């Protein structure tokens, strides 16, 4: 059985989750960071993180961290932390392809005594039922005899400079009590907020997947309330502020629900629930409501334009923001694309403006090429879809100036004062 001092660590996947983890470990111990994206590795070697999650100074401080795209180099390690994406496909089914490919890669270098720790969000049972068999097949080794597994769910919040990997409490687990303790000791080296050792890998997997399912359902409730209050002519934010004066009222806000967690994780849980014969009505109802918000927003905008006698067909609309949340370049599962697609269904000419995004990535992922700068006086309608600080700094007058003399300004994010916008969610 490995001891803490024996560990030779590798991080598999250097994205929003893997890189901050590798950097913190790399400040204290030798770490090999592996990614199949050669461009990503080259920029990290140059001391730059294009996701903007890790500052240049922190990258430089991780002096024990080195990078590679060569899977053969992984053979020199004995503990592997897997942080690859776990998306959903076009039918909203879990797509474990990146996880299986990473497991295949590791299976080819796995040795007796090695430990593979997964951080990717999955449904309960995926580590032992889906990943471990791949490791066994590729390595020819036997689970919990020749090699072991752990699970420690990621809790990274992209763009959040306050809640970082080190100060977010970490859930840990292992496939045997001894491995669970070693995994916990390993993470305690960098997690200042402390750890919580779960009773099993499945408990840790379930804990992760319900964290964002709970948030998804809370937002779905607020989205439905916003629809109701809009019909009643009541300002939703005013209601939420008033209700928020009670100490135990939860401060959720309505909006588009995207990202790599909240808009995805519930489908992993519902997939597993259906596989064991249970139809999860409440969770799926919340998902349906949140997934329909883009259509609702465009419907509200079109009604407002018609009331002002602004011709919808051929109108020019500016969408301000494409990322899934404010002040970060993360485009994963952004639901702003629903608004863009729905507008195009109305034969509207759409310009998307977002100073945070990489235009090539937006084109590659969604077929949307953001404009460099919107021109003044050009738009029949403007929708603020992401609350970037850049947009807030503009102020309502500068944003209004982008519209034609008769236009509609729709503030989805409560970025402006109530009287400064024509529509709010």
Q: Which residues are catalytic?
A: 261
Distance from C-alpha of 371 to C-alpha of 384, rounded to nearest angstrom? 15
Phi and psi at 139, nearest 5°, equal: -95, -25
H-helix or E-strand containing 80? strand 79-82
- Cα separation, 58 vs 196, in Å, equals 26
Q: Tokens at residue 73, please?
A: 């180099």
Tokens of 50: 């294009």
Q: Kindly report the number of other CB atoms within 10 A of residue 389's CB atom.
A: 11
Element (H, E) at 353: strand 349-353
Q: What secondary structure letter does DSSP report for 244?
A: T
CB 220 within 8 A of CB 289: yes
Q: Could you tell me which of 265, 231, 403, 255 has the C-alpha nearest to residue 324?
A: 255
Q: Mention every residue, 6+ apart, whose C-beta is less than 8 A from residue 153.
A: 119, 121, 171, 204, 205, 207, 208
Query: Among 126, 94, 98, 120, which Cα is nearest to 17's?
Result: 120
38-51 burial, b at 16+ Cβ within 10 Å, e below that, comes to: eebbeebeeeebeb
Q: What are phi and psi of 249, to 5 degrees?
A: -80, 130
The tally of CA atoms less than 13 A away on the side-chain side of residue 364 is: 7
């Amino acid at each position: 059985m490995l001891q803490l001092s024996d560990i030779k660590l590798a991080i598999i996947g250097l994205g929003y989750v893997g890189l901050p983890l590798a950097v913190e470990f790399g400040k204290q111990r030798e770490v090999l960071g592996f990614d199949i994206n050669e461009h990503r590795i080259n920029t990290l070697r140059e001391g730059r993180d294009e996701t903007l999650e890790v500052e240049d100074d922190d990258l430089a401080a991780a002096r024990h961290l080195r990078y590679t795209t060569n899977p053969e180099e992984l053979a020199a390690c004995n503990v592997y932390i897997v942080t690859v994406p776990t998306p959903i496909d076009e039918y909203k089914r879990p797509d474990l392809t990146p996880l299986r490919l990473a497991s295949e890669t590791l299976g080819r270098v796995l040795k007796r005594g090695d430990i593979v720790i997964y951080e990717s969000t999955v449904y309960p049972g995926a580590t032992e039922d889906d990943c471990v068999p791949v490791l066994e097949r590729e390595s020819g080794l036997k689970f919990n005899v020749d090699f072991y597994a752990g699970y420690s769910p990621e809790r990274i919040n992209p763009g959040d400079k306050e809640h970082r990997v080190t100060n977010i409490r970490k859930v840990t687990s292992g496939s045997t009590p001894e491995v669970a303790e070693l995994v916990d000791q390993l993470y305690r080296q960098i997690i200042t907020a402390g750890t919580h050792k779960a009773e099993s890998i499945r408990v840790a997997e379930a804990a992760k997947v319900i964290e964002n399912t709970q948030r998804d359902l809370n937002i779905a409730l607020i989205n439905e309330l916003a629809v109701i209050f809009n019909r009643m002519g009541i300002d939703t934010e005013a209601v939420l502020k008033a209700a928020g004066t009670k100490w135990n009222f939860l401060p959720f806000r309505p909006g588009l629900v995207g990202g790599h967690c909240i808009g995805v994780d519930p489908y992993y849980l519902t997939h597993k629930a259906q596989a064991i014969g249970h139809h999860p009505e409440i969770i799926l109802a919340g998902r349906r409501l949140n997934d329909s918000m883009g259509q609702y927003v465009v419907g509200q905008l079109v009604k407002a334009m018609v009331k002002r006698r602004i011709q919808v067909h051929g109108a020019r609309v500016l969408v301000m923001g494409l990322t899934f949340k404010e002040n970060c370049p993360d485009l994963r599962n952004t639901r702003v694309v629903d608004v863009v697609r729905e507008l195009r269904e109305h034969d509207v000419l759409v310009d998307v403006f977002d100073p945070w995004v990489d235009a090539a990535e937006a084109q590659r992922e969604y077929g949307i090429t953001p404009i460099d700068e919107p021109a003044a006086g050009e738009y029949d309608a403007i929708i603020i879809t992401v609350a970037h600080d850049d947009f807030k700094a503009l102020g309502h007058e500068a944003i209004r100036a982008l519209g034609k003399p008769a236009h509609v300004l729709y503030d989805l994010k409560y970025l402006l004062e109530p009287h400064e916008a024509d529509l709010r969610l």
